[in-house]
Homo-oligomer: A and B are copies of this chain.
Amino acid sequence: MTKAKPSPQERLLEAAAMLTYRDGVSIGVEALCKQAGVSKRSMYQFFQSKDELLAASLERRASAFGARLLPAADVDRSPRERILHVFEQVESQAGTPEFRGCRYLAVQIELKDEGHPASRVAHRVKEALTAFFRAEAEQGGASDPDLLARQLSLIFDGASARAGVGADNLAGLIAPTVITLLDRAGVR
């Protein structure tokens, strides 16, 4: 059985995700269409603008982003272990040569416009991660679940950013930092 060829729309979404992660949000429409093998005319039939295409590509990646980071729901692990799982994934991803940090943070930093459709998608995806931390913190008996969720989000973004720009390889850094915060909050 051969896999069906991706549709032009899917190829555009994939090209936008790949090229903006590698080259940044200022990538041109020409380059996006060339990578996707789709004409500009076709592109504008699917998406009103490059901004809309970028937002849709981030939206589409959101479930994969969650799946690569979050622990499986049916595994019997403590909230503490479930939180640490996320950071083990970050450390592991940071070790790959194509890693450039968290795409959802990068897009917001690059666009510098909180109202941009792609910034709004990115903001929402990261809020879902903070909500995951908060739910686990509460479940694990954290003294202040809101504070811990914000702290873990801060560690997540700081670690991804520093690894993405080659400032730190994260080895031996994230686990002791997260554990110190979990201990302080009394998370089991």
Q: A96 near B: Cβ within 8 Å?
A: no
CA distance A101 to B109 in the complex (A): 8
A154-B165 contact in complex given A26-B26, A100-B112, A147-B172, C-beta closer than 8 Å = no
Taking chain A's interface residues, is the majority helix, strand, or loop, or is none over half, making it mixed?
helix
Q: Is the CB of B158 within 8 A of A159?
A: yes
CA distance A165 to B157 in the complex (A): 11
Residues of B within 8 Å of A159, CB to CB, are 154, 158
A121 to chain B, nearest CB (A): 13
Chain B residue with the shortest CB-CB distance to A155: B158
Q: Map CB proximity to B onto A143-161 as digits: 1 under 8 Å, 0 otherwise.
A: 0000100110111111101
Q: Is the CB of A173 within 8 A of B154?
A: yes
CB contacts under 8 Å to B, within A157-177, are 157-159, 161-162, 164-168, 172-173, 176-177
A161-B166 contact in complex given A109-B106, A112-B24, A180-B180, C-beta closer than 8 Å = no
Q: Is the CB of B119 within 8 A of A165?
A: yes
Q: Map CB proximity to B onto A5-49 as digits: 1 under 8 Å, 0 otherwise.
A: 000000000000000001110100000000000000000000000
Q: Is the CB of B151 within 8 A of A173?
A: yes
Q: Is the CB of A168 within 8 A of B184?
A: no
Q: Is the CB of B110 within 8 A of A109?
A: yes
Chain B residue with the shortest CB-CB distance to A119: B165
Q: A128 near B: Cβ within 8 Å?
A: no
Other contacts beyond A101-B109, A108-B165: 9, CB < 8 A: A24-B110, A100-B109, A110-B110, A126-B167, A151-B173, A154-B158, A157-B162, A158-B158, A180-B184
Interface residues of chain A, those whose CB is within 8 Å of chain B, are: 22-24, 26, 100-101, 105-106, 108-110, 112, 114, 119, 123, 126-127, 147, 150-151, 153-159, 161-162, 164-168, 172-173, 176-177, 180-181, 184
